[in-house]
Structure 1
């Protein structure tokens, strides 16, 4: 898949958010709730640390009502960076390899995604630079 016009710099906000999640999951994984969602503390941390809270309504404690966090996790799973196993969210081999290499993660996203996901657009991005194309 070709890299979009303007190079892969548009994927930096998405790579930053995904790297946050991969780092948070870490080698030990995260125990999911009984309903299969991220625990409230992780959802709140994502919204605060990625600076998405001021752009979202609600308490930002439940993944099923906090679309940016839900989309982030689903995208990571679709990209095969994370997997679910026995009630835990775990890194895949690819996720482990890319977690500590931000440049490789950004290139992987640029090659994998047709356009940056909506949660990585200028409205939700925390990095300096241009907003993702619409």
Structure 2
């Protein structure tokens, strides 16, 4: 675990746990448990274990009514001219919009633990967690102020 984290891994997924979750989900489906419930149970177990898996990255088929009210992950990279460059996360107040900064990766590729006093730089990539409308407002704030 320490070697992987030192090499830059932000999350380490034990294969035994994932294998167990897959076996359990197949067994539940085979005995007739509704697939939505199986998925929910598996996701609840992942949520309890993997901080960065609490949301999901939006895909092309994720715009149904059920998905629009759930939290998801979104990445945003600060480019030259973004108003958030040089500002702290505290000053941007993304939490007030209902958005959490789940991860921060600097342009040099090194992950950083996002803290309120973190000053954002050109090339920083943020992984944001929140509901779709809140994420849109947060990205607007990062881009245009």
TM-score band, normalised by shorter chain:
under 0.3
Give the TM-score taking structure 2 as reference length: 0.23
Give the TM-score taking structure 1 as reference length: 0.24
Structure number with the bigger relative contact order (C-alpha 8 A, sep ≥ 6) is 1
Which has a greater percent of helix?
1
